[in-house]
Structure 1
């Protein structure tokens, strides 16, 4: 380990930014605004819904790109040269994210929406909510995991390796996994739209992020200056990302306004399997890491990256596949509302149980 790394590890953990800390509050406010506007000015939302090309809503596409692009600039594929370092953590990340999480989310969705909640919602609505849960389960976290890793004083380089590997896998695995799971639940899968969504919301932003990162770091004289350049760039584009997220939430709930006002119980019903999935995945990964004697600064991010979701991608694909006013889109946004308080509670738990794990 370098002296700088040891210094970083000994430094006191700092809090997340005001926006991230209160994300649930901002999203809740955006939901309220969307519900009000959707009931007051439904014609405006109807007009926006018609701005589509090849099953992609153009307004939402711009907003999603604004959210996703800054995150992709933070992905450093040069970190993949460390892929062989501490292989246990990487193996655990891949198994949890790609061999367990999508399928447990689908199973929980089927259990609750086809059986437990069957008397509370129509079969058509249940199918839509289930589709939204499947999209969330198949999209592991890309950006917020850096926040959770930082709060547990995780190994930043290794967290970057995990995210980079997940992004590479996502390009090739997301569409097939979603198609298989939607097919299993008898939901028609428009393959062309699904592949188009992956291209629009993963491949293109990722390519743009890599190109931007290359330009920013090429001008710097050393790694330290490169990081400063990246931090300054992220600070400049972060407002666009925040506006994109909150405006998307306003639009989604504006389209759903009448349904939600008449049936607020829907939000609670969607949240139930999401909560069970989040805590279940975390503890499965966390205790597997403990049993495998993975160091805490790798184990904590391993568990948290599987618990958190790339909700921006899930939202975008739900809109492309099922429409802005769909139950699938609503389910993915409820995922945003649920995620932040859940993740903060798990960060607190991880920090209190740090002594369970060997040191790095």
Structure 2
């Protein structure tokens, strides 16, 4: 594991601090940067998200989809949690807290925005960071790749309809054109580019050429992640400084959702007798969020300084420390998970 992955929490914390400091110190600069938009898409954020996503997309082997029939239980668990449970529990928690428990603490309009941001997080299962979580839990790298490949394909078709349906329930006007443009821009095109580059490299020099390329562009993904986090917190610096209480309010249901989805995933993996190497990525891919996509869509649909964008940024804030705690818990549960799986094999 590289230096970046080993100290991920530290780098993200430093980028958050730097972003807030720069946003407060030079607000005019970031207000100007926020104006670089085309079709409601901030071009700077788009470039950074692409830099972060594209290297990961070169690892997607669409031919691995055929392997799903060989060991389908872990994949089925992931898909059920990601697409039939997670988006709706996120909506339910957002509605419970901001339309119920916190209704006297925020305005109705702000509540709708925060719920919208949470929905975008809930409809975007992890695609990139799951490789880090899988590595930290000693998960099966090939099976993790299979899960990511299948999720990316489903994401292309399911993200916009589910997000649009749930956003409609919050009484917000759903800008379908922008939502669909975001899916194409942040999912379809990077995936297509990654697949084409992968095939070209494999034809040119085999796995050695591909691995050399992936090693070379790895700093691009690292820099993209750090700069994305820095820019997002710089754009939201004034809101974060002026509304610290709101940050706490948003973080509460997000943290509950993360542990809830992990619990559902782990119980499912235990009942299905999945070995730890499969159960770990199966649980964590749904627990974690594709926050790059959620943030980019929130900015495109609702604006850089919107409550929805703020909610997705808070998602970034809580993501890393909470996920690291679940990585630790998953590793602690590994012996029990494997004993359960071996009982199935012995029958």
Fold similarity call, TM over 0.5: yes
Unpaired runs of 5+ residues, structure 1, are: 1-15
User: C-alpha distance in 2, partners of 1:28/1:326?
Assistant: 23
**Aligned position for 1:10:** none
Greater Cα offset, 16-25 or 233-242 = 16-25
**Aligned position for 2:253:** 273
**Aligned position for 2:167:** 182
For the 8 Å contact 1:24–1:336, the answer to whether it is kept is no
The TM-score with structure 2 as length reference comes to 0.93
**Aligned position for 2:180:** 195
**Aligned position for 1:110:** 95
Deviation at 1:204, TM superposition (A): 0.4
Deviations 1:75-116 (A, max 9, x none): 111111201011111111110000000110111111112222
Residue 112 of structure 2 aligns to a residue whose secondary structure is helix
* Residue among 294, 299, 302 paired with 1:314: 294
Greater Cα offset, 323-332 or 87-96 = 323-332
Structure 1 residues 38 and 315: alpha-carbon distance in aligned structure 2, compared to 1, 3 A threshold: same
Greater Cα offset, 31-40 or 188-197 = 31-40
Deviation at 1:240, TM superposition (A): 2.1
After superposition, the CA RMSD in angstroms is 1.7
Number of residue equivalences: 340
- Where does 1:1-360 land on structure 2 (aligned, <5 Å)? 16-221=1-206, 226=207, 228-356=208-336, 357-359=340-342
The TM-score with structure 1 as length reference comes to 0.90
User: C-alpha distance in 2, partners of 1:236/1:164?
Assistant: 22
Deviations 1:41-92 (A, max 9, x none): 2221221122111111111111111111111111111111201011111111
Deviation at 1:317, TM superposition (A): 0.6
Structure 1 residues 26 and 120: alpha-carbon distance in aligned structure 2, compared to 1, 3 A threshold: farther
Residue 154 of structure 1 aligns to a residue whose secondary structure is coil
Greater Cα offset, 56-65 or 261-270 = 261-270
The structure 1 segments of at least 4 consecutive aligned residues displaced by more than 4 Å after TM superposition are none
Deviation at 1:125, TM superposition (A): 2.0
